[in-house]
Amino acid sequence: MSVEPLLPPRALPALLTEVKAAALRRFFVALAEQGFEDVREGHGCVFGFIDAENGSRLTELAESSGLTKQAVGEAVAQLEELGYLERVPDPKDRRAKIIQLTPRGFEAVVTGRRLFAEIEREWAKQLGEELLAGLREAAEAIAAAEREETAQTGTALRM
């Protein structure tokens, strides 16, 4: 005879949030140790989505990050003030601006990607490469399906 638990298991989004928080704690400690103590979690909407080689428009960053243009604009202004970004005229449309990484910004992006890769390598040692690869594959599939649904329905969750 099987007995149903009183409560269903903890929701997957809650677990994923906990995993994200753990990764970000480790990440920001290591990032500060590398000399980027002024970078904050809120800057991820830029650093995580900017075209590091060609720059990006504000609207592209907002769309990619799932945030409003106003929220991303605030992060861009902060990062510009800190010397990580600059705004330059878009060669295709002089009225528009392209947000580009400065050399310091490029260094921060490269360092950040390296640090996240190190965190993932540590997890692979703890969990096994196959399990971590399966987690990544599942997360990428879910994210792709959600992007596709958003593109089809035209509705996006704005934070």
Q: What is the 3-state secondary structure (H, E, C) of 73-131?
A: HHHHHHHHHCCCEEEEEECCEEEEEEEEECHHHHHHHHHHHHHHHHHHHHHHHHHCHHH
> What is the domain count for the chain?
1
pTM for the predicted model, two decimal places? 0.83
- Is the pLDDT confidence value at 121 over 60? yes
In tens, the pLDDT along 31-80 reads 999 999 999 999 999 999 999 999 999 999 999 898 999 999 999 999 99
Vertex 97: Cα angle to 91 and 102 (nearest 5): 95
State which residues form the domain around 93.
13-152
87 closest CA partner among 100, 106, 75, 96: 100
Residue 1 domain flag? no
Vertex 72: Cα angle to 68 and 73 (nearest 5): 110
What are the structure tokens assigned to 54, written together? 């060609």
Find the Cα–Cα–Cα–Cα dihedral 84, 37, 72, 13, rounded to 10°.
Answer: 140
Of residues 81 and 63, which shows the higher confidence score?
81
Residue 159 domain flag? no
- Mean pLDDT over all residues of the chain? 92
Residue 25 domain flag? yes
Residue 136 domain flag? yes
Residue 7 domain flag? no
User: Measured between alpha carbons, how far is 35 from 31 in angstroms, rounded to an integer?
Assistant: 7
Residue 140 domain flag? yes
Residue 70 domain flag? yes
51 closest CA partner among 98, 14, 119, 121: 98
Residue 125 domain flag? yes
What CATH number is associated with residue 98?
1.10.10.10
